[in-house]
Amino acid sequence: MIEKGLFPVKPTPVQYLGKLPKGQEIFMKRDDLLGFSFGGNKARIGAAFLQDMEKKGKDFMVSYGSCGSNLNRTMALLCKSRNIPCLIIVSGQEAGGQTFNRQIAADTGARQVLCGKDGVAAAVEQVMEELKGQGYKPYYLYGDARGMGNEEAARSAYMGAYEEIRRWQQESGVRLTHIFHASGTGMTQGGLVAGKELAGGQEEIIGISVARDAERGISAVRRYAGEGAGAIRFETDYRCGGYGLYDRDIQEVIREMMNCHGIALDPTYTGKGYSGMVKWLARYGDGSERVLFIHTGGLPLYFDYLRGL
């Protein structure tokens, strides 16, 4: 069989990592191995946005993210690989400076528009008007300037991943009690929750917040999950002060994951999510849990982290 298309490794493998001190069994779903642009949740989600864009007859992709954004890098590459013009709006560059994600995105030739954290909506509106004036039919992947409207497309990506997880449980005989991941925009968690609802799954899906407070985080997850979603589990106790900030525990998790399993985590997303999961399980678990952690990618951020040490 010839593996064509964007993702040579799909469904992604689930790997047994071992037991925590209390006895919980930990598995990892290796979405970092999807095989396009270092994989990750934004590879799945980005591919869904591209499909949605084509369906809607648009011809110019507009993405948005921070200067370390995995989404911007992935969208720039997905578009470049298909000869679709792409523009990325970048916020927070005053803080983060140059990152590998931004460098890789720039190398695609995608135009970058800088803005402040409070100027995103204005930047989106201005860019969309400008592109329309040039005769394009631009697609802003979050929907309107306030970031609403394309929830269905985003949702479909991790509904698909949930379906992979469901099948893996059937095939392996492992019955998961919990699914953890680093939760940021809500797109990944929303899709997982929607997939679980559809399939009648019983796992607790727990997002470890990488930045947002409970109100904003839960509202975003609920929006992406769509109607019918039950209680949203969005844990905000492990944020270390905010987006991109981390502590020694997260550093230790990153070191241990590389040293024990040869797997790269980063301090902004996967390392923070994994560290939060371990603390949550120590605090609330009784040891009987069978837990899946989803590795949502972001490899360039691991090398940013190494560079900064």
Binders in 10-39 for a copy of itself, by CB under 8 A: 13-16, 27, 30, 33, 35-38
Regarding 308 and contact with a copy of itself (CB under 8 A), the answer is no
In the block, tokens 């013009």 appear at: 85
* Closer CB to a copy of itself, 30 or 216, in the complex: 30
Q: Which two tokens stand for residue 288?
A: 């009987």
CA-wise closest residue to 268 among 300, 237, 220:
300
Regarding 3 and contact with a copy of itself (CB under 8 A), the answer is yes
Whether residue 71 contacts residue 42, with contact meaning beta carbons closer than 8 Å, is answered with yes
Regarding 175 and contact with a copy of itself (CB under 8 A), the answer is no
Regarding 171 and contact with a copy of itself (CB under 8 A), the answer is yes
Contact flags string 105-144 toward a copy of itself, x per CB under 8 A:
--xx------------------------------------
Whether residue 31 contacts residue 7, with contact meaning beta carbons closer than 8 Å, is answered with no
CA atoms within 13 A on the CB side of 14: 23
By three-state DSSP, how is residue 63 classified? strand
Residue type, 276: G
CB of 35 to a copy of itself, least distance (A): 6
Contact flags string 236-275 toward a copy of itself, x per CB under 8 A:
-------------------x--xxxxxxx-----------
Q: Which stretch binds a copy of itself (CB under 8 A): 52-60, 104-112, 133-141, 157-165?
A: 104-112
Radius of gyration of the chain (CA): 19
Cis status of the peptide bond prior to 8, with omega within 30 of 0: no
Terminal-to-terminal C-alpha distance of the chain? 43
The partner residues of 250 in beta bridges, in order of sequence, read: none
In the block, tokens 């899709």 appear at: 191
CB of 298 to a copy of itself, least distance (A): 13
d(CA 293, CA 298): 15
- Using CB under 8 A as the binding criterion, the count of chain residues that bind a copy of itself stands at 45
Q: Which stretch binds a copy of itself (CB under 8 A): 73-81, 89-97, 135-143, 185-193?
A: 73-81
From residue 238, give the alpha-carbon distance in Å to each of 208, 246, 276.
Answer: 7, 9, 5
Q: Which stretch binds a copy of itself (CB under 8 A): 2-10, 127-135, 182-190, 212-220?
A: 2-10
CB of 306 to a copy of itself, least distance (A): 6
Q: Which residues of the shown chain bind a copy of itself in the complex (CB under 8 A)?
A: 1-4, 6, 8-9, 13-16, 27, 30, 33, 35-38, 43, 77-78, 80-81, 100, 103-104, 107-108, 171-172, 174, 255, 258-264, 299-300, 303, 306-307, 309
